[in-house]
Amino acid sequence: MSDLRITEAFLYMDYLCFRALCCKGPPPARPEYDLVCIGLTGSGKTSLLSKLCSESPENVVSTTGFSIKAVPFQNAILNVKELGGADNIRKYWSRYYQGSQGVIFVLDSASSEDDLEAARNELHSALQHPQLCTLPFLILANHQDKPAARSVQEIKKYFELEPLARGKRWILQPCSLDDMDALKDSFSQLINLLEEKDHDAVRM
């Protein structure tokens, strides 16, 4: 091979390397989803979201009105609107549902019977609300590290999820602040449901 051909070959290889390094552009943006997070006061909504955002638990203050956090994951960013769970605030939850693409419902699996009944009523209302009934739900049975915690099967039966949520997209998962891997896996499953809903919308 002549020196000219060798030079041309090297120049072409340099060109390919330049294109690979400089012309591929920025990585694709992660999709963002707007979610609403609801649950009674004391269920642990704020603590779970703060832990996912790597915030110090010492600075966690229970939400009295609403707050918004951008929770980053490898394949998506979840813009979570957390609503306070006090008695006098829950009646206003529906005012903040508009624009939501998914729902996170947090319950205290170790709560009293009265609080568990209140949580069941609120979840039933959310599952049947016109602005939420077609959305994916992530239901977190929190405080599984407490001795009085009820199992996921007990929660599913008590909340009557099988008949009530039939035909809907929902996930019921146990969680606690001590098991972040399980919590992140629960959110990954929710992101999968959100992506499926996006794909279904495109096909329509």
Residue 113 has pLDDT above 60, yes or no: yes
pLDDT at position 204 is 45
- The mean pLDDT of the chain is 86
Known binding residue 144? Answer is yes
Residue closest to 80 by CA, chosen among 119, 40, 117, 39:
39
Was 64 annotated as part of a binding site?
A: no
Average pLDDT over residues 194-204: 66
Report all structural domains of the chain as residue ranges with CATH numbers, in order of start: 28-203 (3.40.50.300)
Is 168 annotated to bind a ligand? Reply is no
pLDDT band at 59 (very low <50, low <70, confident <90, very high): confident
* Beta pairing, strands 137-142 & 170-174: parallel
Question: What tokens appear for 6 in the block?
Answer: 């060798």
Q: What are the structure tokens assigned to 142, written together? A: 């929190």
Q: Is 198 annotated as a binding residue?
A: no
98 appears as a binding residue in the annotation: no
Q: Is 143 left (phi over 0), alpha (psi -120 to 50) or beta?
A: left
Which of 88, 91, 76, 85 shows the shortest CA–CA distance to 105?
85
| Predicted pLDDT of residue 62 | 76
> Do the annotations mark residue 167 as ligand-binding?
no
Higher pLDDT, 171 or 8: 171
124 is in an annotated binding site: no
